[in-house]
Amino acid sequence: MRKRFLYLSLFIFSLFLLGGCESQSNGKVMICSAKAKQGNIDMDLHYEVTFNSEYVKTVKTVEKLTCSDDKTLDGYKKTIDDIYKKYDGVDYYTYKAEIKGNTLTSQVFIDYEHVDIDKILSLSEDSEHLIKNGKIKLSDIKEVYENVGASCYFD
């Protein structure tokens, strides 16, 4: 059961490299969120997608894991850092993870209008199912979030 949760958590955290710590006000906004509890771990996931027409412009993600076990949080942080370190130096792609108290917060921001899409695709095969012809359709990313239990609405 613990392995299953670990795989689910890693999938969510690596969910095609989504996330965020910056904000963009251009375009329309879709917000998706989910909360889950597995054993002694609470998950709070928040995704903010700006878009024009049918294509994604930016993705901002804040994912929080809360757990009273420091070793568990440290293990998740190490795993998450390992996932995202390959994107260090990629312009228009920012990542930050930190533990404060008993909560691990992972934030990622990607500006898909400016990021080097070919570089992202070369670093992550997981992105290939979403990025088509250099773009991400809003309906595709919404489906991904809903498949992990998130509810989405348009702001």
Bigger pLDDT: 145 vs 22: 145
Instruction: Give one word for 76, left, alpha or beta, with left for phi > 0 and alpha for psi -120 to 50.
Output: alpha
Tokens representing residue 79 in the block: 């795993």
Q: Tell me: pLDDT of 146 over 80.
A: yes
Q: Tell me: pLDDT of 21 over 60.
A: no
pLDDT class of 150 with cuts at 50, 70, 90: very high
pLDDT (tens digit per residue) in 79-114: 999 999 999 999 999 999 999 999 999 999 999 999
Residues 6+ apart with CB under 8 A from 155: 28, 29, 30, 31
- Please report the beta strands in the chain, taking only residues with DSSP state E, as ranges in sequence order: 28-38, 41-52, 55-67, 93-100, 103-111, 131-132, 135-136, 151-154
What predicted TM-score, i.e. pTM, was given to this entire model? 0.82
Average pLDDT over residues 17-38: 70
- Inter-axis angle of helices 70-84 and 2-14, to 10 degrees? 40
pLDDT class of 26 with cuts at 50, 70, 90: low
Average pLDDT over residues 118-123: 94
Q: How far apart are alpha carbons 17 and 116 in whole angstroms? A: 14
CA–centroid distance for 107 within its chain:
7
pLDDT (tens digit per residue) in 57-82: 999 999 999 999 999 999 999 999 99
pLDDT class of 125 with cuts at 50, 70, 90: confident
Going along the chain from its start, the domains and CATH numbers come out as 2-142 (3.30.1830)
